[in-house]
Amino acid sequence: MMKITGLEASIVAVIVGAMIGFVPNYLMDLRRERSQLRSRWDSALFDLCSDFASSARSLQELCLRRTSVSTAARLSEDIDEEHHRLRAISERLLLGNLELQFAVRWVMVHAHAIHEVSEGRPDPRREEFPGQSPHQRFGATLQDFYTAARKQLHVINPGAITPRDLEPGRDPSRRA
C-alpha cells in the first residue's frame, strides 16, 4: 500500500478545494450569462411585439375610419403608410418561435383583407372564412398573436387577455 505524505495530502486538498470553488462559480456564471442573453432578447422581442400590435391596431382604426367616413387622399396615404410599417415590423418578428411566426403571418393576412375592404374591394378571403368579417378574423388572429408573444416572453398565464374586439362598434359588419 502506498503511503500519502503530508505534502501530497496538502496538494490533493488544495486541488479538491479549488474544484469545489470553481465548479459552482462556473455554473453560476453560465446561468447568469444565459439569463442576460434571454433578457436582452426578451426586451427586443417585447419592443417588436408592442410595435407590431400598435401598428396593427392603428391600421385597423384607419380602415374603420375610412369605412365610416369615406374620406380622402390623406387617409389613404396614412393607411398605406401604416400597412407598410406593419409589413416591415412583421419581417423582424420572424425571428420569433414558430407559433409567433404563424400568428404574425395570419395577422398580416387579415390586415390585408381589412385594407382591401376599406378600399371598397371585396374581401379576398370571404370564401375561406364564410360568415366572418375581416375585422372579426383580424381581432381573433391578433388575440392569437398576443398569446404567442406572451408565451415566448414567458408570461405566466399567456392566454389571459381581454379581447379588445368585444368593445361595441369594433366591427362595421355588426353595426345597425
Render 23-51 in DSSP notation, one character per residue.
Answer: HHHHHHHHHHHHHHHHHHHHHHHHHHHHH
Mean pLDDT of 109-124: 92
3-state secondary structure of 6: helix
pTM higher than 0.85, yes or no?
A: no
pLDDT at 61 exceeding the cut of 60: yes
- Reading the block at residue 23, the C-alpha cell is 465548479
Residue 124 CB contacts under 8 Å (≥ 6 apart), including other chains? 112, 113, 116
Identify which of 118, 156, 120 has the alpha carbon closest to the alpha carbon of residue 138: 118
The more confident residue out of 126 and 19 is 126
Mean pLDDT of the chain: 83
